[in-house]
Amino acid sequence: MIPRYSRPEMAAIWTDEAKYRRWLDVEIAACEAWAELGQIPREAAEKIRRDAKFDIAKINEYLAITHHDVTAFLRSVADSLGEEGRYVHFGLTSSDVWDTATALQLRDASDILLADIDALLAVLERQARAHRDTLCVGRTHGVHAEPTTFGLKLAVWVDEMRRNRARLVAAREAVAVGAISGTVGTHASVPPKVEELVCAKLGLGIEAASTQVIQRDRHAQFVTTLAIIGASLEKFATEIRALQKTEVREAEEPFDEGQTGSSAMPHKRNPELCERITGLARVLRGYAVTAMENVALWHERDISHSSTERIVFPDATLVLDYMLNLFTGIMDRLRVYPEHMRENLERSYGLVFSQRVLLALIETGLSRQDAYAIVQRNAMRAWNERVPFLDLLLADPDVTSRISEAELRGLFDYGYYLKNIGATFERLGL
């Protein structure tokens, strides 16, 4: 991922230095496991833990010769050791090291993302509570439907992000597994006990059945989970973009003094942060497709997945980390305009009360079809002629013969739509 969309803590997980450090962690843990089983001298394992190191410059030199990064790494480690170096990588395959180390990286990346989600949830919950009763129009198909509250919109987002958090916890568990199973996963060259000890030392679960590589359905679950979270952020950002339209202007993302919206039009306050989130969500969905393509490998293994994962794992975690933090900042400083919400609510001439009138007429004994026709007739006229819906109903004998003026006026009460909002907030603990 380019520096523009990379935050330091997440980026640090994916440096070459960090990768090789995790490889070395796996190799050291394996040596200690062998020593515990009495297969190599304990003193050798202790010396390996104390002295083993790598040199990235030397790795790159060896890589130019071997064209194999694990063997290049092992040569560099061997340079730092004496005779005991022969025990490093004993019985292991490159996949044992690579996949188990990657599990450590993905676990650590997950922990950052979970913290990001927690930070976003705190802001969303605060804003939802603050706007629980902030009246606005609900729209279906982009058209005025019935009144809702801005807080209820945000409560829906809270609930969705809580589900996303649960998804990520499950995905973290799925990828936080190691495999030290040797060639084609038979444990012929490295017994299951070594695998158990290594994974315990590293704080990982165990791939119960391996084909030399950890099965890529786990990684597909992880990356698709990130893509789902990105899709949620895109959904939220798209709503803000729609609410920021000039003719709507019910809410807008922060815009700082001196900030440029358009290089040509100084008046512009473009929702470019939310648009950025929309674009990056598309990138994540592309990575999800790649991760699913990686599930099917030839027989026990191939390396068609390897080239893609060198891009997908770092970039997917980096981009979601960036998106979550960006959207948290947007929501923390979101500009909300309740007065514009009220103005927009009233722009459809009271038509948002049509269902209340419909139900009231049905309650007088009219069939639903007849009641619907009466209400729709007046509603279409209100819209086409731009006159108050209530005035037309008060002048329609088909309505006034069944509903009194006082009752009709009582139906046009915004408070009616707030009466059960609290129940949703109670369900969510808000």
pTM of the model: 0.94
**End-to-end C-alpha distance for the chain, whole angstroms:** 37
**Buried-state track 38-48, b at ≥16 Cβ within 10 A, e below 16:** ebbeeebbebb
Estimate the crossing angle of helix 304-332 against helix 94-130, to 10 degrees.
20
pLDDT of residue 88: 97
Estimate the crossing angle of helix 42-51 against helix 16-36, to 10 degrees.
170
- C-alpha torsion 167→168→169→175, nearest 10: 110
pLDDT of residue 2: 85
| 47 closest CA partner among 35, 58, 55, 39 | 35
Tokens for 258, please give them.
């001196």
Q: CA 210, CA 70: separation in Å to the nearest integer? A: 20
Q: Is 262 a catalytic residue?
A: yes
CA–chain centroid gap for 386, Å, is 43
DSSP 8-state class, residue 206:
E
pLDDT of residue 96: 96
Q: CA 143, CA 133: separation in Å to the nearest integer? A: 21
Q: CA 390, CA 96: separation in Å to the nearest integer? A: 73
Q: CA 323, CA 276: separation in Å to the nearest integer? A: 9
Query: One of 262, 304, 367, 404 is an active-site residue; which one?
Result: 262
Would you say domain 1-90 falls under CATH 1.10.275.10?
A: yes
Would you say domain 93-342 falls under CATH 1.20.200.10?
A: yes
Q: Is 141 a catalytic residue?
A: yes
Helix (H) or strand (E) holding 126: helix 94-130
Q: CA 15, CA 8: separation in Å to the nearest integer? A: 11
| 322 closest CA partner among 34, 106, 120, 53 | 120
Q: Please report where in the chains the tokens 């930070």 appear, as a residue.
A: 119
| 394 closest CA partner among 376, 380, 407 | 407
Q: Which residues have a Cβ under 8 Å from the Cβ of 295 and sit 6 or more positions away?
A: 215, 216, 217, 220
Number of CB atoms found within 10 A of residue 343's CB = 12
pLDDT of residue 258: 72
- CATH 1.20.200.10: which residues of the chain? 93-342
**Buried-state track 170-186, b at ≥16 Cβ within 10 A, e below 16:** ebbebbbbbbbbbbbbe
**CATH T-level assignment (fold) for domain 351-411:** Ribonucleotide Reductase Protein R1; domain 1 (1.10.40)
DSSP 8-state class, residue 108:
H
Q: CA 99, CA 185: separation in Å to the nearest integer? A: 13
Q: Please report where in the chains the tokens 């981009």 appear, as a residue.
A: 319
Classify 66 as helix, strand or coil.
Answer: helix
Amino acid identity, residue 129? R
Q: Which residues have a Cβ under 8 Å from the Cβ of 413 and sit 6 or more positions away?
A: none
- CATH 1.10.275.10: which residues of the chain? 1-90
Q: Which residues have a Cβ under 8 Å from the Cβ of 150 and sit 6 or more positions away?
A: 131, 134, 135, 136, 250, 251, 336, 338, 341
pLDDT of residue 313: 96
- CATH 1.10.40.30: which residues of the chain? 351-411
Query: One of 76, 94, 95, 141 is an active-site residue; which one?
Result: 141
Q: Please report where in the chains the tokens 């731009």 appear, as a residue.
A: 386
Amino acid identity, residue 55? D
| pLDDT, block means (10 residues), the chain with 430 residues | 91 97 98 96 96 97 96 96 95 96 98 98 98 97 96 98 98 98 94 97 96 94 98 98 95 81 75 95 97 91 89 97 98 97 96 96 96 96 96 96 96 95 96
pLDDT of residue 262: 63
pLDDT of residue 304: 85
Cite the DSSP H helix spans in 338-428.
Answer: 338-345, 354-363, 368-385, 389-394, 397-400, 405-411, 421-428
- C-alpha torsion 19→22→26→32, nearest 10: 140
Q: Which residues have a Cβ under 8 Å from the Cβ of 261 and sit 6 or more positions away?
A: 255, 267, 268, 269, 270, 272
Dihedral sign from CA coordinates of 2, 295, 190, 75: negative
Number of CB atoms found within 10 A of residue 257's CB = 4
Q: CA 168, CA 149: separation in Å to the nearest integer? A: 29
pLDDT of residue 145: 95
